[in-house]
Amino acid sequence: MCVYTCQEHWFDPEHQKVYEELAQKHGYRYESLQRSGWNCDGPSEDGIAILVKSETFDVVERHDVHFHAYGIPQDRVALLLCLSDRRRPRGSSHCPRF
- Given a cut of 60, whether residue 10 has pLDDT beyond it is yes
- Between CA 37 and CA 11, with CA 62 as vertex, the angle to 5 degrees is 30
- Given a cut of 70, whether residue 93 has pLDDT beyond it is no
What pTM was estimated for this model as a whole?
Answer: 0.82
Contacts 24+ apart (CB under 8 A), 68-73: 68/36, 73/39, 73/40
3-state secondary structure 14-75: HHHHHHHHHHHHCCEEEEEEECCCEECCEECCEEEEEEEECCCEEEEEEEEEEHHHHCCCCC
Segment 49-54 mean pLDDT: 98
- Given a cut of 90, whether residue 56 has pLDDT beyond it is yes
Q: pLDDT for 17-30, tens place per residue?
A: 999 999 999 999 99
